[in-house]
């Protein structure tokens, strides 16, 4: 296994589109990194530069201490698993998994050993003689992972490997990938646009927008201290509520309503006294209380929690209450914010 270092990577495509700007990341040996962000933000481009499937316009890529920036893909010792797993339809599961090793003219006994070991890890031992079309989507995805495992690469790359699976299977396969990561101790770079997948899988998340890295950190860091409005709105579900708020001494005014600030919060906001900031509040940080009144416009019960949609002085807001509650449309719900995030209106950066 290997460490990985991406230094000042830029990608400009032939049509002058710059897809990635100054990407910097050090991946530790055995770390699982998830690149997350909306469609078109440059995730696949970054992954493909690591794989060698796209030229690196400028910057340096280092695998295990070796500069591989200009090295062809086949020499990089990397295995990639794609969204459309592209199995060979005329080959059995066994043959699909053995294929790359056969191409490399590996000893047949070694091939057999590696395929059987990978099949065991992935629970495919009983499926080895089947053709891909006789398998479920989840099993096919596991065969695609098996093809990567048998090569014992230095680094595994995954590009949205679960997006063709239904929600239940996606959850199950996600847990398999986590187990696989633990068992192999493998260094992995994993791309997804799904923030839940990022939060549940990653050792560290790289959150991207429009070609730029917005924040790198553990799932908890991105959830708890998002670096800017983009990360705050992208990570967390339902998304964070945002309001324009005026800092006024030790209170915050939102649409004419006053919210008390703690001493610490007031201190942090002192440089903004008399100015507008962006206030962010996660739905799970809106709780029963006495500071503000929400006018209810809808209510969804989700078992142990209830989502309450409504307005706060005319502004849309969603609250996630830890109870099975029932609220009528038009009803007033008294709440307080248990945690608030503050952002600079101009830079959108966290205060
Ligand atoms: N071969 C190409 N030639 C020119 N532009 C490209 C090429 N491939 C991608 N792009 C552009 O580069 C940008 C980043 O694309 P990329 O595929 O990396 O996004 P992504 O984050 O993987 O998105 P998605 O979630 O939709 O897969 C987009 O604006 C895209 O249109
Ligand atoms: Mg992509």
Write out the DSSP string of 61-109. Answer: EEETTEE-TT--GGGS-EEEE-SS----TTS-HHHHHHHHHHHTT--HH
Spatial distance between the Cα atoms of 176 and 124, rounded to a whole number of angstroms: 13
Distance 348 CA to ligand 1 centre (A): 25
On the question of pLDDT at 240 being above 80, the answer is yes
Per-residue pLDDT band for 266 (boundaries 50, 70, 90) equals very high
- Distances from the Cα of 64 to the Cαs of 33, 123, 153, 225, 347, in angstroms? 16, 31, 12, 31, 37
Which protein residue's CA is at the shortest distance from atom 24 of ligand 1? Answer: 39
Spatial distance between the Cα atoms of 300 and 193, rounded to a whole number of angstroms: 25
* Ligand 1 atom closest to the CA of 43, numbered from 1: 21
Predicted pLDDT at 167: 81
Region of residue 127 (left: phi > 0; alpha: psi -120 to 50; beta: else): alpha
Interacting residues of 145 by C-beta distance below 8 A, sequence separation 6+: 81, 122, 161, 177, 180
- Distances from the Cα of 313 to the Cαs of 288, 296, 321, in angstroms? 17, 12, 20
Predicted pLDDT at 102: 93
* Ligand 1 atom closest to the CA of 11, numbered from 1: 12
Instruction: Give the ligand with the smallest distance to the CA of 45.
Output: 1
On the question of pLDDT at 24 being above 80, the answer is yes
Per-residue pLDDT band for 228 (boundaries 50, 70, 90) equals very high
Per-residue pLDDT band for 122 (boundaries 50, 70, 90) equals confident
Predicted pLDDT at 16: 93
Which protein residue's CA is at the shortest distance from atom 11 of ligand 1? Answer: 19
Predicted pLDDT at 33: 98
Residues with CB under 5 A from ligand 2 (ion): 44
Q: Which residue has the higher pLDDT, 336 or 138?
A: 336
Distance 63 CA to ligand 1 centre (A): 24
On the question of pLDDT at 313 being above 90, the answer is no
Predicted pLDDT at 256: 82
CB of residue 41 inside a 6 A radius of ligand 1: yes
* Ligand 1 atom closest to the CA of 38, numbered from 1: 25
On the question of pLDDT at 1 being above 70, the answer is no
Most confident listed range (105-119, 201-215, 324-338):
201-215
Least confident of 60-69, 164-173, 218-227, 254-263: 164-173
Domains and CATH numbers, the chain: 4-234 (3.40.50.300), 241-343 (2.40.50.140)
Helices (H), strands (E): how many in the chain?
A: 9, 19
- Distances from the Cα of 201 to the Cαs of 122, 169, 178, in angstroms? 18, 15, 6
Per-residue pLDDT band for 17 (boundaries 50, 70, 90) equals very high
Predicted pLDDT at 172: 81
Predicted pLDDT at 331: 94
Spatial distance between the Cα atoms of 308 and 109, rounded to a whole number of angstroms: 61
Q: Which residue has the higher pLDDT, 94 or 173?
A: 94
Summarised one tens digit per residue, pLDDT across range 140-198 is: 888 998 898 898 888 999 999 888 778 877 888 888 888 888 888 889 999 999 999 99
The pTM of this model reads 0.92
Predicted pLDDT at 123: 85
First to last CA, the chain: 39
- Distances from the Cα of 43 to the Cαs of 48, 140, 239, in angstroms? 9, 24, 21
**In 3D, which of 304, 284, 204 has the Cα closest to residue 240?**
284
Rg over alpha carbons for the chain, rounded to the nearest Å, is 24
Burial class (CB in 10 A: 0-12, 13-18, 19+), 130: middle
Predicted pLDDT at 70: 94
On the question of pLDDT at 314 being above 90, the answer is no
Summarised one tens digit per residue, pLDDT across range 47-88 is: 999 999 999 999 999 999 999 999 998 889 898 887 777 789
**In 3D, which of 134, 128, 126 has the Cα closest to residue 115?**
128
Q: Please provide the average confidence, as pLDDT, over all residues in the chain.
A: 93
pLDDT more than 90, % of the chain: 77
Spatial distance between the Cα atoms of 93 and 122, rounded to a whole number of angstroms: 12
Q: What is the DSSP letter of 50?
A: H
341: phi then psi, degrees, rounded to nearest 5 = -115, 140
Find out whether 305 and 320 touch, Cβ atoms under 8 Å: yes
Unique residue bearing structure tokens 């002058």: 16
Predicted pLDDT at 149: 87
Which protein residue's CA is at the shortest distance from atom 8 of ligand 1? Answer: 45
Instruction: For residues 6-26, give the mean pLDDT.
Output: 97
Predicted pLDDT at 298: 94
- Sheet hosting strand 306-312, strand order edge to edge: 315-321, 306-312, 286-301, 332-337
Find out whether 261 and 250 touch, Cβ atoms under 8 Å: yes
Which protein residue's CA is at the shortest distance from atom 3 of ligand 1? Answer: 13
């Amino acid at each position: 296994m290997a460490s990985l270092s991406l230094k000042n990577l830029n990608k400009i495509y032939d049509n002058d589109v710059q897809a990635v700007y100054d990407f910097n990341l050090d991946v530790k040996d055995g770390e699982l990194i998830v690149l997350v962000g909306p469609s078109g933000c440059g995730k696949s481009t970054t992954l493909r530069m690591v794989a060698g499937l796209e030229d690196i316009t400028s910057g340096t890529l280092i695998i295990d201490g070796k500069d591989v920036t200009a090295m062809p893909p086949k020499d990089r010792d990397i295995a990639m698993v794609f969204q459309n797993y592209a199995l060979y339809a005329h080959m059995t599961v066994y043959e699909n998994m053995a294929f790359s090793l056969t191409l490399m003219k590996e000893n047949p006994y070694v091939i057999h050993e590696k395929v059987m070991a990978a099949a065991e890890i992935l629970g495919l031992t009983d499926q080895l003689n089947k053709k891909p079309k006789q398998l479920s989507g989840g099993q096919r995805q596991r065969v695609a992972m098996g093809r990567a495992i048998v090569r014992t690469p230095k680094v595994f790359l995954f590009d949205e490997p679960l997006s063709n699976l239904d929600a239940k299977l996606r959850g199950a396969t996600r847990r398999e990938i986590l187990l696989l990561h633990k068992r192999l101790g493998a260094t992995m770079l994993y791309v997804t646009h799904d923030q839940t997948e990022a939060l549940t899988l990653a050792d560290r998340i790289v959150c991207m927008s429009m070609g730029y890295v917005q924040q790198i950190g553990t799932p908890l860091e991105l959830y708890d201290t998002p670096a800017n409005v983009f990360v705050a709105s992208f990570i967390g579900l339902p998304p964070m509520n945002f309001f324009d708020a005026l800092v006024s001494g030790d209170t915050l005014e939102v649409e004419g309503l006053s919210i008390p600030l703690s001493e610490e919060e007031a201190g942090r906001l002192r440089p903004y006294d008399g100015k507008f900031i962006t206030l962010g509040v996660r739905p799970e940080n809106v709780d029963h209380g006495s500071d503000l009144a929400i006018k209810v416009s809808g209510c969804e019960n989700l078992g142990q929690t209830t989502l309450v949609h409504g307005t706060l002085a005319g502004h849309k807001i969603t609250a996630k209450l830890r109870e099975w509650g029932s609220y009528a449309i038009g009803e007033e719900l008294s709440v307080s914010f248990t945690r608030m995030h503050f952002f600079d209106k101009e830079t959108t950066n966290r205060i």
